[in-house]
Amino acid sequence: VQLVESGGGSVQPGGSLRLSCVASGDIFGRYCMGWFRQVPDREREGVAATYVGSKLAYYGDSVKGRFTISQDNAEKTVSLQMNRLQPEDTTMYYCAYHGGGCGSLWGSDGYFESWGQGTQVTVS
């Protein structure tokens, strides 16, 4: 599975950005798509995930109420609407794919088999 992200950029504090991720390749049935971000000196942090084909969505505590994940199953696209951005949200963001449900492991980067190249988000 190949993933291509888009939509990163620079914004002032309080602003918004929308990231998108298009998946292609051998994708069958429902699957989990997640967004992660790089945290200094740590593994990638789970930001949000969704079980594509369902209404299930998961969010990290630091983004609840500010970020919203959405999906277009027909287009195999998952988007992340990021509102009220703050300087601490500045980092690289990655899209990830797992060929199954999200479940309790959605926030673990080791759970996902495929990754995008990342897109930079800068808030300053």
pLDDT at residue 42 in the model: 77
Secondary structure (3-state) at 52? strand
Secondary structure (3-state) at 105? helix
pLDDT at residue 13 in the model: 98
Query: Per the structure block, which two tokens stand in for 113?
Result: 């088999």
Query: Per the structure block, which two tokens stand in for 28?
Result: 């069958």
Q: What is the pLDDT of residues 95-106, one digit of tens each?
A: 999 999 999 999
Q: What is the pLDDT of residues 68-80, one digit of tens each?
A: 999 999 999 999 9
Question: pLDDT category, 41, cuts 50, 70, 90?
Answer: confident
Tell me the percentage of the chain whose pLDDT exceeds 90: 93
The answer to whether residue 113 scores a pLDDT higher than 80 is: yes
CA distances from 43 to 46, 55, 73, 107, 114 (A): 9, 27, 29, 11, 16
Q: Compute and round to an integer the Cα radius of gyration of the chain.
A: 13
Least confident of 27-31, 85-89, 111-115: 27-31
The chain-wide mean pLDDT, for the chain, equals 95
